[in-house]
Structure 1
Amino acid sequence: MHPAMTRLERIDRYLSGQMSPEERRAFEAELAADESLAQELEAQREMWRFLQRRHEREARRKQLQAIGEEFFQQPARVVPMRTRVLRWAAVAAAVAVLLVGYWLMRPSLYEQFAQHPPLALVEKSGAATDDLAAAERAFNGGDYAKAAPILERWLQRHPDDDLVRIYLGIARMEMNQLEEARNLFQNLRTNDPALRDFAQWNLALSYLKEGDTEACRQALHNLSDGSAYAEQARRLLERLSN
């Protein structure tokens, strides 16, 4: 098989969670040593996100189109002027609804920036239990309601695990439990600047989701110097200023 195909297939297996814990560890060690492979992974991850968003928008577009077709495909017949006026008013209202629907199909600013890295709890713990694997599958599949209680139980047993604390906060944020999410993001036990910036970035996203742009800006400005999220923060601040 062509080497490029092999790399792409391995990246696909990694992103889809099909690798065993041993495979994931070996692959991530290779990622750390091979910058070109890491770049390919990031490009493929962005493509996955784009396709997922496009699929969701297309599904909503088809639903709106079906509603519009059902409304407009009425049998033609002679009707009184008053009825025609009322019908045209209804048509205008329907068009307005469809236009609003198309506008709503556009991803929100939060959806554009809240691209969460996949959870790898089994690999992190070194314990391939069904419970931990279920948490990974649920979180990475977007089933945050299922992932949250598993992460909660893990955190109760490992209260110093701030990475899990942040992922639990992300799950709470996606479930619109914003106060609970912020409490998790703001109460880390570690001094690790990378983890603190990860939490701070998600704290900013929680305010963005709520529509509190001023609090979002403040949280972004509180990222550390040289933060891994500096470029994303710059782009988000720029969008908030438009």
Structure 2
Amino acid sequence: MENQNLENIIRYVNGEMQANEKEVFEQELATNINLKEDLLLYLNVDKTLRSEFSNNKTDRAFKENLVSLNQQYFKAEQKPTAKIIKINRLWYAAAILIVGLLIWAPWNHDIYDKYADTEMVSFAERGAVNQDNLQAATDAFNAKDFNKAKGLLQPLVKENPDDDMLKFYLGLTQFQTKEYEKAKSNFTTVNKRASIFKYDAAFYMALTYLKQDNKAEAKVWLNKIPKDSDEHQKAKDILDNL
């Protein structure tokens, strides 16, 4: 989003334009696709931020951080008209620009990292599975010590090759430690079976492809997740951003 566009959009949305300025802006809005997209982006982020800040007791600190970050996105040399933006809205202009870049930007697949955070839930009785090692693996996984969890899960999977729960979580540790091909192998195996982890595996397979910047394959796996699955809404959210 260009600084000039952002300035004019803020003034337009807040009713600060003179009648002739507003008329010129709306005429350009009717023909300038980029300006229209910037306006829609601003309105979307504006709605999100207002909702968040209305219930956020720490928004003052957040605003102060954004004022600092603002210096990275707004040059010191600005045209006189830029002074129309009031100082108490400077943080907000930065928020619009930063959130637009870091959250709505379609090229930034790091947005999907938030979906990778999950906990390992093991069952109390797993037959031949060594309970002490299983509990240790669970504790390590939930403490985000994925290398340790992986080391504990590998022999468990070797001893219990048909245990989809173990194989799924081993795949997650491999995903977290960037062993993507090994992770995909385990996710594929689990997904092919009639397992309660079938669609969890499909979802994390998609995330693995996103980490490898392969959006086409990610879409294939996200579309395998049915509407009645617990993973469907997350899959839909990601698809909507691809």
Q: TM-score of the superposition, structure 2-length normalised?
A: 0.51
Does the 8 A contact of 2:191 with 2:198 survive in 1? no
Q: Do the aligned partners of residues 235 and 107 (structure 1) sit closer, same or farther apart at CA in structure 2, a change above 3 Å counting?
A: closer
Residue 153 of structure 2 aligns to which amino acid in structure 1? L
CA distance in 1, matches of 2:195, 2:225: 9
Does the 8 A contact of 1:119 with 1:167 survive in 2? no
Structure 1 runs not aligned, ≥5 long: 1-57, 66-99
Q: Do the aligned partners of residues 181 and 138 (structure 1) sit closer, same or farther apart at CA in structure 2, a change above 3 Å counting?
A: same
CA distance in 2, matches of 1:124, 1:205: 30
Q: Do the aligned partners of residues 190 and 118 (structure 1) sit closer, same or farther apart at CA in structure 2, a change above 3 Å counting?
A: same
CA distance in 2, matches of 1:151, 1:207: 23
Look up the match of 1:228.
230
Does the 8 A contact of 2:120 with 2:169 survive in 1? no
> What CA deviation, in whole Å up to 9, does each residue of 1:128-170 have, x standing for no partner?
8432222111101111100002111111111110111011001
Look up the match of 1:168.
170
Look up the match of 1:108.
110
Look up the match of 1:196.
198
Q: Do the aligned partners of residues 203 and 190 (structure 1) sit closer, same or farther apart at CA in structure 2, a change above 3 Å counting?
A: closer
Aligned to 1:187, which of 184, 189, 202? Answer: 189
Which runs of 4 or more aligned residues in structure 1 lie more than 6 Å from their structure 2 counterparts after TM superposition? none
Residue 116 of structure 1 aligns to which amino acid in structure 2? T
Look up the match of 2:179.
177
SS in structure 1 at match of 2:234: helix
Aligned to 2:145, which of 138, 143, 146? Answer: 143
Does the 8 A contact of 1:160 with 1:189 survive in 2? no
Q: TM-score of the superposition, structure 1-length normalised?
A: 0.51
Does the 8 A contact of 1:173 with 1:181 survive in 2? yes
Q: CA deviation at 1:195?
A: 2.0
CA distance in 2, matches of 1:128, 1:164: 12
Q: How does 1:1-242 map to 2 (within 5 A)?
A: 108-120=110-122, 123-125=124-126, 129-188=131-190, 191-192=193-194, 194-240=196-242
Residue 214 of structure 1 aligns to which amino acid in structure 2? A
Q: Do the aligned partners of residues 178 and 154 (structure 1) sit closer, same or farther apart at CA in structure 2, a change above 3 Å counting?
A: same
Structure 2 runs not aligned, ≥5 long: 1-61, 70-97, 103-107
Does the 8 A contact of 1:162 with 1:189 survive in 2? no
CA distance in 2, matches of 1:164, 1:203: 16
Q: CA deviation at 1:194?
A: 3.3
Q: How many residues align?
A: 145
Residue 208 of structure 1 aligns to which amino acid in structure 2? L
Q: CA deviation at 1:189?
A: 8.3
SS in structure 1 at match of 2:196: helix
Residue 134 of structure 1 aligns to which amino acid in structure 2? A
CA distance in 1, matches of 2:179, 2:133: 23
What is the RMSD of the two structures over their aligned residues, measured on CA atoms?
3.4
Does the 8 A contact of 2:109 with 2:210 survive in 1? no
